[in-house]
Amino acid sequence: MQSHLILDSYLQKTTLAAATLLLVLVGCSENTSEPQIAEPTAETRPSGFELLNPELSTAAKQIALDYAEQIRVDFSQVSIEIEKLQSAIGEFLAQTNIENLDRARQSWLLAHSAYELTTLHRYFAASILDEQNSIALLQLQYQINHWPIVPGYLDYVDGYPDSGIVHDINVSLDSIGLRDQHGAFDISEVTLGFHVLEFLLWGSRDTQSELRSVDDFIEIDALDASQIESGYSLEQLSNNRRRQLLAIIADILLGDFRELGSLWSDQLERAEQSIDRTSQTELITTLADSMSAMLTEELLLRSLYPMLNGDFVESIQSPYSLSTQNAVSSQLSGLERLLLESQSENGTTLDLVFSAISDEFSEFFYQNFDASKSCLVLLYSNTDNDTASTSTEREIGVVECINLLTNMIDNIDRLKLELSY
């Protein structure tokens, strides 16, 4: 019952994402197991684009089929990076020193960037999965990468030295207990995922020491007199609980992502069959919709619009590692790879297909894309440095990024409009 409440809250929080991902599922029944790209009926006729551009239309279908396989490959690579993160955390806990802490932090950065590179993959995957699997994908994403988080729900923050489940000995630090705590009271009070690990590894930037000290993870193997008098056991000491929490969250993260990868692999054959039966026009529209949804939800609604309204806490994805710019750059790189690197057998790219549909796409999309990437990287690189810019300068930067992204989305929407003629 509790898991349903958590998912309901998550879906409400990400209204546009859920709407985007689920509207394409209209018409599917609860018992349907087939992926739900709208299948052509006997009355379906080729579009004008398909009739005038048969080679490009065929190439679009090949690209979509190859993309489905590329998603599986890229998910496997993310799993490898999370395994490396888990291993680095294990080495750090075995030999707790600053060098191994830095290695664990670097492994987090690499694993998280690899995950964000698959952001567009997950939007496309959810658009062609049946409703049950699409919701399962959303639930796993909530467990893997929800942000923002409430750091005080996990561990100490400035002014609250004993806050969080690290200090609450009534909270069981095991997989079942942590899953029960994840979003139990509020969607942002999370105990799972990348950003819980981020906070544990870096600490809150509000703390006096800036970065978390390695001393927070030194294992305590003997109780002092006051601890004995208070009735503590070694397992209840905050350092030892923090160590335990770090290890368990890394294990759960790997397990959850493997489940996400398996979900797609298990559905891949059906997805490819559905892609093969779907018209080229519908496939192109689905790919374009996935791009628009990713740009709108991940960048505009979750980050830039809140930032424009002065919310510089919930609008930043990775405030503890100061690496939001890395995540955003990876998201945009995933989109760029689909457009320019995915090719049909004759070397046709999705960019060429889109450009054949809309002259404006080839002329304006990449101008806005390159400018958006530069704008966002600069914006997020400076956001956490209060001396980097004045509030007015920051607001101007936010508005500039919003305008560039909106132009990109408009280019995609015009492409879909021209495709419908």
- Average of pLDDT values for 198-227? 89
pLDDT tier, 29 (very low <50, low <70, confident <90, very high otherwise): very low
pLDDT tier, 207 (very low <50, low <70, confident <90, very high otherwise): low
Give residue for tokens 């958590």: 6
With beta carbons less than 8 A apart as the criterion, state whether 82 and 253 touch: yes
* Residue 87 backbone dihedrals phi, psi, to 5 degrees: -65, -40
pLDDT at 34 over 80: no
> Which tens digit of pLDDT belongs to each residue from 368-418?
999 999 999 999 998 755 544 577 888 999 999 999 999 999 999 999 888
With beta carbons less than 8 A apart as the criterion, state whether 319 and 326 touch: no
With beta carbons less than 8 A apart as the criterion, state whether 35 and 274 touch: yes
pLDDT for res 31: 38
pLDDT tier, 198 (very low <50, low <70, confident <90, very high otherwise): very high
pLDDT for res 135: 96
pLDDT for res 46: 67
The span from the CA of 338 to the CA of 402, in Å, is 23
* C-alpha R_g of the chain: 23
pLDDT at 3 over 50: no
> Which tens digit of pLDDT belongs to each residue from 35-59?
344 444 434 566 667 766 788 889 9
> Which tens digit of pLDDT belongs to each residue from 222-276?
999 998 998 999 999 999 999 999 999 999 999 999 999 999 999 999 999 999 9
pLDDT at 81 over 60: yes
pLDDT for res 48: 64
Give residue for tokens 């998912």: 7
Decide which of 158 and 10 is more confident: 158
pLDDT for res 54: 83
Residues across the chain? 421
The span from the CA of 299 to the CA of 297, in Å, is 6
